Amino acid sequence: MTENTPYLIAGLGNPGPAYRQNRHNVGFMVVDTLSETAGIALQRVEFRALVGKGEFAGEKLVIAKPQTYMNDSGQAVAALLHFYKIPLERLLVVHDDLDLPFGTLRLRPSGGTGGQLGMESIASRLATRDFSRLRVGIGRPPGHMDPRDYVLHDFDPPEQELLPEVRGTAVDAIRRFIHEGIEKAMNDFNGSVIDED
Catalytic residue set = 24
Q: Which residues of 98-131 are buried (b: 16+ CB within 10 A; e: fewer)?
A: bebebbbbbbebeeebeebbbbbbbbebbeebeb
CA angle 95, 65, 31 (to 5 degrees): 60
From residue 179, alpha-carbon distances to 30, 76, 189 in Å are 18, 25, 14
Separation of alpha carbons 180 and 57, rounded Å: 10
Cβ 153 vs Cβ 136: under 8 Å: no
Cβ 115 vs Cβ 31: under 8 Å: no
Separation of alpha carbons 32 and 35, rounded Å: 5
CA angle 3, 8, 10 (to 5 degrees): 170
End-to-end alpha carbon distance in the chain: 46
